[in-house]
Chains A and B, each alone.
Chain A
Amino acid sequence: MPRRTMLEAALQALALIMEPMRLAIMLGGVVLGLALGVIPGLGGIVGLALLIPFTYHMDAYTAFALLLGMASVTTVSDFIPAVLFGVPGTVGAAATVLDGFPMARRGEAARAFGAGYAASLAGGVFGALLLALAIPVLRPAVLYIGSSELLAFCIFGLAMVAVLSGKAPLRGLTAACIGLMLAMIGSDPQTGTLRWTFDGLYLWDHLPLVPVTLGIFALPELADMAIARAGIATSTASFSASSQWDGVRDALRNWRLILRCSALGAVLGAVPGIGSAVIDWIAYGHAVQTEKNPENFGKGDVRGVIAAESSNNAKEGGHLVPTIAFGVPAGASMALLLSAFLMHGLTPGPEMLTKHLDVTYGIIWTLTISHIMAAAICLCASGLFARLALIRVGLLVPAVLAIIFLGAFNGSQSWGDLYSMALFGVVGWMMKQLGWPRPPLILGFVLGATFERYLFISQELYGAAMLARPVVIAVLLAAAWVVARPLLDAARRIASGGRGRLRMPRPSANAAFAAGLIGLVLLALAQSAAWPLHARLVPLAAAGAALLFGTLTLLTELFAARRDAAGDAAHRVDAPALALDGPQRMRALRFAGWLAGLLGAMTALGVLPGLLLAMLLMCWMEFRERWVVAGGLACGMTLAFWLVFDRIFATPWPDALVGDVWPWLRSATGLV
């Protein structure tokens, strides 16, 4: 296409988007998107479901200004709860927790905010720019990415496990393999075998991502807060605009890192099946691997925040590539957006790059402008948000606990979501406490299903010939490069005298945890005995590897001479563990008891009434708040939940015991 007409289309689209009415509507979308991003479990998908009916009578430019203005900025604000509470606002902000949360605890929330927004803005604009520049080659580029290329990208993502395991490679590999096994749960695409579903319907369509992410990353932070009895900002350094600008300057100083992570985010965003839940981790791993002084990562290094946020926002531009060029959605939110395209008479495909080129440019401008709006709003409002960090732990923990349970429930709106989150919360807390890296588990879990899918397709289509395809070779070489350095490091460590010192076996919590995992893997293996070969292949490989690495971990725990604790903690890509003394052990047990009680209350009384009761009692009895305060918090939060989830999102509440006993209660309230 001649360059002049492309430029003309771009300018024409800009003029259309800049009309005051459209800008105002886009601003409305941006504000809603920021609000949805802050609430864990809500995000672009529910926002699109809510907004699409309102766009029926708008023209295409306005509709996409509203929809994309909303959807593209949830990854800007999801960062706020990640920094303040250690609770990722969407699944894409989990990596931000690692450095953002420690910064907030040091009283540097403002600096983290500044750096995060600047990185988000840069990433978002980068993604849009890449999309704009790629238009002439969009279709050939996407056609070039076949099933074996998708497989190679999955392998590249999985290779990051090597970096994200830090100095605990055996534990990281074990966790990644177990993540892969978790991804295999549900109906198998090749044979339809129901794998590890325990005869229930809940696991049939695979374990949902949101409860697992919130359980693994958010619940442990809350538990630690409740155990340590410390609010978020332990130092009471007041929030100042100047420290926010320090953060922006941090981002500017690290512009090279932003460029690299944005490019990574945009390219991986264009690959269907990779998804925002792992893109931030891959970028984070890349930063750990390539930056100087990597030992600071995980302890509140601003570069960790910058890497995660820039990649996460750049992915939106990437996501749009296959959606616009071929109508193949790169993620769940894009699938919804696709229906909006059709509604406005736009057929994704070649027409979007010729006949409707102006709409495509309108979309690109919307991405750019909405990110600018979002960054400006957040920079202005973050003084307000940062004050949340000063809330007493006794109010914060019950309220946030209730929020993440509702967020998890949004996963597939069944009891299973609530139980899964609690279960993975316990596992996540133990991993954190015992120094097992958690990111590898998520990488394995998110990439597992896509990996299996394209492994079979590539094998069926190409066999070994897939290894002769240029893109596959390039991506696999990149993966090898990612793995090589940690491998060499480990080899060097062993060579330089870390070997040979054995001791008498001594039981430890870590050995018990490893043994427990091995036991679970063996049970899972026993269950899989009757599956047909195609359904068994990948689970068997993952379980075999999990057994191998798990056993090696166990042997190391039992027999290897203990390294000094400081050396063990350094260079670990995860948040530091809490040192537990006597009363804190009791608190940990009591917190587990509260979790069980909360689940019980919800099962008996319904989700919202159960949360109301649990918030009230926890606040009053566990944290010794005055009962007026406890009652006010519990009622206020429940009312807000009811308005958002029941009235606006029409959540179908699952059946509780009281509703079985008194059916009139169910038909009268719809809550039980």
Chain B
Amino acid sequence: MRLTRTLLAGALAIAAILPARAADFYAGRTVSIVIGYSVGGGYDLYARLLARFLDRHLPGNPTVLPQSMPGAGSLKAVMYLSAVAPHDGTVFGTFGRSMVLEPLFNGAKFDPRKLNWLGSITQDVSLCVTSAASPIKTWDDLITQHARMGGQAAGSDPDVYAALLKHLFDSNLRLVTGYPGNNELGLAMDRGEIDGFCGLSWSSLASRHPEWMSGAHKINLIVQASAGTATEAHAPQLTSKITDPRKLAALRMILQTQAIARPFAAPPNLPPERIAALRQAFLQTVADPEFLAEAARLGLDVSPVPSTAVDAMLADLYAQPPEVIRLAKDASTY
């Protein structure tokens, strides 16, 4: 009892001192947000938005600068954060949500559990859609018929979901891959080259393609994939279509990464007061009314995920038995 009280008092004392020490450190400094993609994409947009409002919530009000570090589908940025970046709290960054699976699936040499996570700005719901003109209108069509589904590249969301449908649900779909991005996939669907594609996020559907929401071009929302949260998208959950427990576990591994749709993490081994300051500033920024107004204007979803949830998710991912990991890896390759 006494010990607990002493510890508590000590913790309180430290908590009181920490912000002051962090303020001393950050005042007059520059904090860099490393972005694993080139300018203009979704990750970039979120990071730049965060950069604009973060400074006012960090003690000492440092200058916050976004920096592009594109390369290897953002693997370069993760590797940089894990091994190279200074671990003094002046650098953190963002990268692809599925990067956390790279060490498990492809032997990438970093450990996402050792990163100091700030959290994710939002979670995502990924949809499989088909065009109004396509004969593929329902889940059963997608499974039984030879749907032409578009893809971007091995490892990208549309390709991974098409592969999951093929391997875990025995779909007869055909993947037509190589389109440069979601915009081009949408155009190819409008044009009738492909029946549809997976990996369209619910938020970008609502903000970018109002013409697909109703009227003559209303698309079919076949199925949705998310980390488990209920959403307003009226489509069955992918997890509801599976019963085999091993397959379900493998599917969940992939879907979990949707919970960290816009992840931010700092390098390992940070001084505790600085990571505490960064985490607090992150949570305050994503709740800042001005930040939210700006995000709404840009059509960006905000549904924050705290660092503790990310750590828990990673612990779960890395505790999966090897055969589930192998199944998940094989099922996500078309």
Contacts and interface: CB of A to CB of B under 8 A. Distances in A.
| A and B assemble together | yes
B235 to A, nearest CB: 22
Given A45-B39, A461-B176, A342 B208 contact: yes
A177 B5 CA distance: 75
Interface stretch (B150-158, B239-247, B306-314): B150-158
B40 A338 contact: yes
Given A343-B298, A347-B210, A655-B84, A204 B40 contact: no
Query: What does DSSP make chain B's interface, helix, strand, loop or mixed?
Result: mixed
B188 A147 contact: yes
Contact of B207 (A189, A335, A342): A342
Interface in A141-159: 142-143, 146-147
A204 B72 contact: yes
Contacts of A329: 40, 183
Contacts of A240: none
Interface residues of B, number: 55
B183 A328 contact: yes
A230 interface: no
Interface string B273-298: 00000000000000000000010011
Nearest to B44: A339
Nearest to A325: B187
Nearest to B75: A201
A113 B75 CA distance: 45
Contacts of B177: 189-190, 456-457
A351 B71 CA distance: 35
A460 interface: yes
A666 B184 contact: no
Interface stretch (B61-69, B117-125, B136-144, B316-324): B61-69
A567 interface: no
Contacts of A413: 68-69
Interface in B180-238: 180, 183-184, 186-188, 190-191, 193-194, 207-211
Interface in A446-493: 452-454, 456-457, 460-461
B226 to A, nearest CB: 23
B34 A652 contact: yes
A192 B332 CA distance: 12
B76 A652 contact: no
Contacts of A143: 187, 190-191
A652 B153 contact: no
B193 A146 contact: yes
Interface in A178-227: 187-192, 201-202, 204-205
A166 B30 CA distance: 54
A650 B71 contact: no
A209 B191 CA distance: 31
Interface centre among B180, B190, B191 (most CB of A within 10 A): B180
A456 B178 contact: yes
Contacts of A435: none
Nearest to A414: B71
B133 to A, nearest CB: 12
Determine the interface band of chain A, counting residues with CB < 8 A from chain B: 35 or more
B176 A460 contact: yes
A461 B193 contact: yes
Contacts of A650: 32, 65-67
Contact of B178 (A457, A651, A655): A457
A332 interface: yes
B71 A201 contact: yes
B73 interface: yes
A373 to B, nearest CB: 26
Give the most central of A204, A322, A456: most B CB within 10 Å. Answer: A204
B88 interface: yes
Contacts of A351: 210-211
B48 interface: yes
A350 B207 CA distance: 14
A349 B209 contact: yes
Contact of B180 (A272, A350, A651, A655): A272
B86 interface: yes
Nearest to A663: B86
B152 A347 contact: no
A419 interface: no
A327 interface: yes
Given A189-B153, A272-B180, A338-B40, A652 B32 contact: yes
Contacts of A56: 294
Given A189-B154, A190-B154, A342-B207, A204 B71 contact: yes
Contacts of B84: 655
Given A205-B72, A347-B208, A453-B178, A342 B299 contact: yes
A427 interface: no
Contacts of A290: none
A670 B86 CA distance: 11
Q: Which of B38, B69, B88, B184 has the most chain A CB within a 10 Å cutoff?
A: B184
A116 interface: no
A49 interface: yes
Given A349-B210, A413-B69, 15 more contacts: A142-B187, A147-B193, A187-B73, A192-B153, A201-B71, A204-B76, A326-B183, A326-B186, A335-B41, A336-B39, A343-B298, A349-B209, A453-B179, A650-B67, A667-B90
Q: Which 7 A-B pairs have the closest CB atoms?
A: A192-B154, A204-B72, A335-B40, A189-B153, A336-B40, A453-B178, A328-B183
30 contacts: A48-B39, A53-B48, A142-B187, A143-B187, A143-B190, A143-B191, A147-B188, A187-B154, A189-B152, A201-B79, A204-B75, A204-B76, A205-B72, A272-B184, A326-B187, A335-B40, A336-B40, A339-B40, A339-B45, A347-B208, A347-B209, A349-B210, A413-B68, A452-B178, A453-B179, A457-B178, A652-B34, A652-B69, A655-B84, A666-B86
